[in-house]
Every structure is written in structure tokens, then in C-alpha cells.
Amino acid sequence: MTEGPLCFCRDCLTDLPIAARRCTQCGSPRIARHTALPDLTLAHIDCDAFYATVEKRDNPEIADRPVIIGGGKRGVVSAACYVARTYGVRSAMPMFKALDLCPSAVVVKPDMAKYVRVGREVRHEMRKLTPLVEPLSIDEAFLDLGGTQRLHGMIPAKVLARFARDIEHNLGITVSIGLSVNKFIAKIASDLDKPRGFAALDQRDAATLLAQKPVGFIFGVGPATAARLSQRGFRLIGDLQRAEETDLMKQLGAEGRRLWRLARGIDDRRVIAERDAKTISNETTFETDIKDLATLEKVLWRLCEKISSRLKSGELAGSTLTLKLKTADFRQRTRSQTINAPTQLAGRIFGVVRDLLAREIDGTAFRLIGAGVSALRPAAEASDDTDLIDRRSAHAERAIDDLRKKFGDAAVIRGIAFGSSAKGE
């Protein structure tokens, strides 16, 4: 066991007795405590109501008002502050419904260029803590601080508390931190005490906490899967905990083993720094199974756009393009194709994986679709400008990227993105 405090003040970092309720130095009630605190090194950091918090920071007049980030009355909610959420406003809700629930809300059009800029500032500060930073989105990431105690002169828990304090002071936004032994539990922990939260959980804590949660609480388990599990007698995660691993594997195959492990808080996934990643990928699980090509390709296009964005931001390109499908009975299909030279364009990625998808349309219903790009190389080696057609496509796509950076993601929407009824998790 690593030496270190079991309890400390999150504001001034003073070590405290394990039973302390307030800091004896600064009087703060914000105390971090756990008997395993010195040994917990894996964190999930999530910026609190990120878009809305940035807007409140930049306009103090709306600091105490309910704020909704989104378009006009026919648009949807991109984000909502915690005040607006108390009225029932949620992301992806139609704007007219959000305003019916909270007519006093201040509506702010999204400024993606600003959010990306602030997100990069937060990411820069994360990388001062450890090189093992795995971004999940513009406002959240996993960090592995194992082996950094000597470098920082304090246990990872204190390093993270200091990070949260400094981000709030220097950047004017707040974060919530979950600290644990693996990704799954760290992500759960970061949601426990929002906003400005700091929660530590070990594996035993997680098993107890999870037992009374519905099976849909596990990532990748959507409503359709939850219904199938319920039919088999697995309504709560506790039901999965009581099952034998071999029985779940007989019923559900590899997915059964995954659910058995996660129900107990077991997760072996490592934190992988994106710049060292061997694959850039994205996937989504459907609320209801889908079998028709038209719907699937609309979802696939959005995934390809996200992958392309990550490749561009990481100054990477790849030449092996992969399609991933999971059937309604949890069987996985993976199909790959290698192109002549690396690309980072959404259009080229989609063109290849869409053809792979078309070959799999045989009446089978799918619960998950994903895409990925591997065999990564520096962006300078991409072949996206090698001939006239490629050059025109590349220039058009980059022009769209520029417009979105300036006016937000909704500024330009490709025709293929319209009309999809699929919803990811």
C-alpha cells in the first residue's frame, strides 16, 4: 500500500484525520476521504455543464440565470446549465419543449470555436499531470497518474484536487473528478457529486453501489438490450452479480463475460494517450435494432465525421479502414479494407466503410455500428490532394470544417445526416 493521507482538504490540501468534517486550517467542508485514497491513480475528469459554464464565465450577467445553449425554436438543446436542468431541460431536447419547461432561460447560440479553445486549455493542463491522457470528448478525459507521486511530491488524489482548484481559478470553469482503480468505476465516481465534485471509489464500493442500478447503467446496454436481459431475469446489475460467469457466457457469449465483469467493477482497459493510439474509432449502440441500409449509413456518416475530426485535430491520417457491427444476439462482425495511401477525410473514410456495410445487409438486425481508422501516419503523408477529384473533395470538406469552427457544428449539415431516427448511447 502506498503511503499517503486518507483524508485531506480539497481547497488547501491540508492532511486531516479520517473523521474530519471541516478543514482545521481553512474551514472548508470540501473533504476528500477514502481508506484506499493513496492507492487510487486512475481518474475521469469531466467539465461541469461545459458549454453553459464557459458562457456564464464570459458574461457575468447571466451567471445566476438558467442558461440553454442551442438554436432557435425549431432547434435542439446542445447543453444546459445546472439551474436549467432543475426545470427538466436536457441535451438533445427540442428547443420549444425546453422553453416551455423553463421560459425564463437565457438562450445562447453555441460558439464551438470558443469551446474548443477552452477545451484545449484544459487538456494542456491535464498533460502537465501525466502523459497518459485519453480524451473522450472536448470536455472529458481519462488520466492515469500511476508512478507520478515522486514527480509531483504528493499522491495522485491531491494532484487532482489541486488541478481542479487551479482550473477554476485560472480558467473560470469547474470540473468534477472521479478517482478509482479503473475506467468504468472512475466514470461512475465523477458523476456522483456534480458540480465541483470529487469522489473516490474502489472496486468493493463499486460492486455495492452498482447492485441496485438497472442493467442499462452499464455502458453499451441500451433499452433493447436491457429488455432482452430483463426477459432472462437480469433487471438489476445485482442480478448479473449473482449469476455465474459461465452461465452468462452460455446465454450471451462474449457479451455475457463483459457484463459479468463490469457488474463487479472489473475493467481491464488501459488509459491510452490519443497521440500514441494505434486506432482512432467511434461506435454507437441503438435503442432499437436496425436492419436497413439507409438508416445505418446515416449513423455511419456521423461516426466518420467524428473520426475525421479527431484525426485532423491530432494531425494524423490512416490507411486501414474498419467497419464494426454487432448483431441483435451480440455476435460481432468486423470488416476492414486498406487503401493505397493514408487519409483523414470523412468523405473518403465513409466511402470505404459504407461499401463494407452494404455487403453485410442481409436482413440481419444490428444493435451496434462502429468505424475505425488504423495504420496511422502523420497527416503530411495523407493522399487527399493527389488528384483533381480528391483535391476538390478535400478542399470542400476543409471549407466546411472552417465554417463549423466559426459558427458551430450545426452551421453545415451534409444531406446524408438528415432523417436518421437512430439514437446512440
Q: Mind telling me the catalytic residues?
A: 140
- At 63, the amino acid letter reads A
Question: Is the Cβ–Cβ distance between 163 and 305 less than 8 Å?
Answer: no
Q: Please tell me the distance from the alpha carbon of residue 43 to that of residue 179, in angstroms, as a whole number.
A: 4
C-alpha cell at 183: 475506467
C-alpha cell at 197: 465534485
24-57 residues labelled b (16+ CB within 10 A) or e (exposed): eeeeeebbbbbebbbbbbbbbbbbbbbbbbbbbe
Closest CA to 383 of 425, 349, 424, 419: 349
Nearest 10 degrees: CA dihedral of 173, 178, 182, 188?
Answer: -110
Opening angle at CA 67, ends 61 and 71, nearest 5: 120
Query: Which residues make Cβ contacts (< 8 Å) with residue 149, sequence separation at least 6?
Result: 2, 4, 155, 156
- String of DSSP letters for 206-227: HHHHHHTSBGGGSTT--HHHHH
Q: Please tell me the distance from the alpha carbon of residue 166 to that of residue 173, in angstroms, as a whole number.
A: 10
Closest CA to 306 of 282, 286, 324, 285: 282
Q: Please tell me the distance from the alpha carbon of residue 8 to that of residue 25, in angstroms, as a whole number.
A: 11
* Count of C-beta atoms within a 10 Å radius of residue 185: 29
Opening angle at CA 378, ends 384 and 306, nearest 5: 65
Question: Is the Cβ–Cβ distance between 115 and 76 less than 8 Å?
Answer: no
Opening angle at CA 169, ends 137 and 154, nearest 5: 80
Distance of CA 274 to the CA centre of its chain: 13
- At 372, the amino acid letter reads G
Closest CA to 319 of 354, 352, 286, 284: 352
Residue for cell digits 514527480?
Answer: 151
